[in-house]
Structure 1
């Protein structure tokens, strides 16, 4: 798969427009393992964006995860608006 600068720019713009939106993310952890979490898009930077993930059932504090726009293009991270 060849990534073009235009593809990254499209994803960056899309994420930037959704700041503050609640999303469900599916993280591909390899070997047919997928982690599904819900969170809010907090910030978008030139190379990465951050999502604050809601606390789990064991009442842990919310975590902030960061992803690159390439993660979305390669489908290592899949996001859907809630």
Structure 2
């Protein structure tokens, strides 16, 4: 079941490569980190986001699809001025 869910999340992100995204990740100790960038690449178990320049010293970050599934990372895509959240919903 979880394997299929991870595959579905990867497949949905495959279609979003090159799109502007907002990442909201758990930074530990009740801190949430927000970063913006472009979804650059998807790999079998992780995806890579190229961050906007003023967002600190990191140029790229990668997260696993399990992070999206467990909601430790929220991923929003900018579409027509709106933010659309990427989630996995069981059918």
The two structures have a TM-score, normalised by structure 1, of 0.85
Instruction: Give 1:80 deviation, angstroms.
Output: 0.5
CA-atom RMSD, angstroms?
Answer: 1.7
Range 16-25 or range 27-36, more displaced: 27-36
- Say whether the 8 Å CA contact 1:39–1:51 is kept in structure 2: yes
Alignment of 1:1-82 (within 5 A): 4-56=2-54, 63-82=59-78
The list of structure 1 runs, each at least 4 consecutive aligned residues, that deviate by more than 4 angstroms after superposition, is none
Q: Which residue of 1 aligns with 2:86?
A: none
Structure number with greater CO (CA < 8 Å, separation at least 6) is 1
Structure 1 residue 30: deviation in Å?
2.1
Shift of the alpha carbon at 1:62?
A: 6.3
Report the CA distance shift for 1:62/1:32 in structure 2 as closer, same or farther (over 3 A).
closer
Distance 1:62 1:35 in 2: 13
Equivalent residues, number: 78
Contact 1:52 1:63 in 2 (8 A): yes
Unpaired runs of at least 5, structure 1? none
